Structure 1
């Protein structure tokens, strides 16, 4: 198996990217890594490790760059060259912690869409308080507007990933809505509900945003605008809550003593809600696995994302999506 990694993308590149890749190399002896980026910065971190090749470039896409313009103009950027490795068959999957919009653009221009998929979806796995596998949210922001057939495709892609990679038998697919009852929501929600109900999925109906962290569904489908609001709201609420707890538990000597007693429990809660344990956000709908790691990823987050990528390749997720979409489209034609 061969993985291409954008070593220059993200807040902590290249050090944490390389450290995470080294952790993965120690566990996965069957993976050959191509690190794309500045050789002078990457090579000293590798210590001549045999599982690594370096594709040298000093050009990179900045977080502030306009995605389409950057991908078109910076043809030797580390992210663009990493996608090219997949396009030309030298790698099985791509990982980057860089500019999200640019990665989606490079993935579309480079890898291309699966036949029958109208729009790719950005799909992060978010934590649940029951310490399970979390839930898959798609779309989380790649397409602000969507049609019912797009959301149906999201449900199919998410269900396949949830089963193959997250290990959920008959994943529960829910439609994000303002109420649980059928007939709730706007026109998009109502039409999508009918499509999902007839699809070969374990569709459980509408789910409300307040139920997501309770583990109400394994796959939650929505348009990119709503999904991004959910994603940012959950991230913001988690950060605010941990900040509030920290302030309260360090406000006095007595509070600090209590904090010491509670530390193992608090550490467990933090681990459950830590994004780095859930891997990156997949760009579903492309002809090859492209995974967006969090911009602030540390070594552990990169290791988890590599583990995620290896499972996607091993379980042949892209081919399974392609086959099921083709089958559904043929049935519709009848």
Structure 2
């Protein structure tokens, strides 16, 4: 690793998700053993009696001895179906809360959790507060594209269902900054999700946001429709949380359907040796492109600290991708760049 790359410590909510330490601990160890992560550190937050045996069983002792992996005790766990308000009020020593506290204190530069999304957002916003100039944080994630070498960032994916035009502009700034510094894209193309490409279409909110973005310093390219999301025509797609969540779930459902159909076709082709030889590489290629694990890790962007939400039902591979996303954002100072850019987004 280059000496110029800052060392990043990631606080992992080891208890979060459907599988807790059985997934989070092996993923943390796998992350740290990758050569390009050789200088980074992870703090596993949660119930020590549950975490420690898995660390030993998965070969994490050497990492512990080297000081690259550590355990930070937390006495409580937020359930996946728990009320966000009650979790925030009553579980101040939850693994989720303690992990975010470590970011607040500066002991970690990012936190990752596969736990209750509502509780994570409420806790993160309460502890870290929003960046000056940002009204509310948003959920942003990468989506796969037809071209496997490209991705598109989309936000908001469900945090805000009543966004104002000004908030949509803030989302655009945050998405543009993240894409520029993490994906290293110069002048990312930003678009608003709309019911049509023509300027006369859409709600008054979207039309007003379009006017504001047109007057900004961002590389705003206009509207994009839902059927164009995965074709890499733009780099950042901005929308209200309601529309974004619906579009995301529809895309995920379509991907599952495609994989199911291909799987059935592949099984049928096994009756023909020649057809099977052709179908196998095609199936594996499509499966790789649409594998949700490789895009796991949605960021709660707009906070004074990096918090990444992993899918609750992901496996070790998927959770490792979420840790990697947190590490990239921290090492490239996404929070600092958003703070700078939000103040100068509009031209004179």
| TM-score normalised by structure 2 residue count | 0.91
| Structure 2 partner of 1:11 | 18
Poorly superposed stretches of 4+, deviation over 4 Å: none
| Structure 1 partner of 2:157 | 140
- CA-to-partner distance for each residue in 1:136-189, whole Å, 9 max, x for gaps? 110000001110000000000000000100122211101000111112101111
Q: Indicate yes or no: 2:21 matched with 1:21.
A: no
Structure 2: 5+ residue runs without aligned partners? 1-7
| Structure 1 partner of 2:311 | 294
| Structure 1 partner of 2:83 | 66
Q: Indicate yes or no: 2:186 matched with 1:179.
A: no
- Check conservation: 1:133, 1:166, Cα contact below 8 A: no
Q: Indicate yes or no: 2:129 matched with 1:112.
A: yes
Q: State the aligned residue count.
A: 331
| Equivalent in 239, 247, 264 of residue 230 of structure 1 | 247
Question: What is the SS of the residue equivalent to 1:327?
Answer: coil
For the aligned residues, what is the CA RMSD?
1.7
Query: How big is the shift at 1:256?
Result: 8.2
| Structure 2 partner of 1:36 | 45
- Check conservation: 2:165, 2:209, Cα contact below 8 A: yes
| Structure 1 partner of 2:111 | 94
| Structure 1 partner of 2:3 | none
| Structure 2 partner of 1:244 | 261
Task: Out of 28-37 and 184-193, give the one that drifted further.
Answer: 28-37
Question: What is the SS of the residue equivalent to 1:194?
Answer: helix
Cα 1:247/1:106, change in 2 over 3 Å: same
Question: What is the SS of the residue equivalent to 2:344?
Answer: helix
Q: Indicate yes or no: 2:9 matched with 1:2.
A: yes
| Structure 2 partner of 1:308 | 325
CA–CA separation in structure 1 for the residues paired with 2:276 and 2:197: 39
| Structure 2 partner of 1:45 | 54
- Check conservation: 2:150, 2:232, Cα contact below 8 A: no
CA–CA separation in structure 2 for the residues paired with 1:274 and 1:73: 37
Cα 1:242/1:324, change in 2 over 3 Å: same
- Check conservation: 2:104, 2:128, Cα contact below 8 A: yes
Query: How big is the shift at 1:251?
Result: 4.7
CA–CA separation in structure 1 for the residues paired with 2:321 and 2:224: 28
Alignment of 1:203-222 (within 5 A): 203-222=220-239
Question: What is the SS of the residue equivalent to 1:107?
Answer: helix
Question: What is the SS of the residue equivalent to 2:72?
Answer: strand
Question: What is the SS of the residue equivalent to 1:110?
Answer: helix
Query: How big is the shift at 1:53?
Result: 1.2
- Check conservation: 1:157, 1:284, Cα contact below 8 A: yes
- Check conservation: 1:249, 1:256, Cα contact below 8 A: no
- CA-to-partner distance for each residue in 1:75-94, whole Å, 9 max, x for gaps? 11111111111112211110
| Structure 1 partner of 2:295 | 278
| Structure 1 partner of 2:278 | 261
- CA-to-partner distance for each residue in 1:101-130, whole Å, 9 max, x for gaps? 111111101111101100110001111111
Question: What is the SS of the residue equivalent to 1:250?
Answer: helix
Task: Out of 205-214 and 59-68, give the one that drifted further.
Answer: 59-68
- Check conservation: 1:128, 1:214, Cα contact below 8 A: yes
Query: How big is the shift at 1:41?
Result: 1.8
| Equivalent in 203, 207, 215 of residue 198 of structure 1 | 215
CA–CA separation in structure 2 for the residues paired with 1:284 and 1:292: 11
Cα 1:17/1:90, change in 2 over 3 Å: same
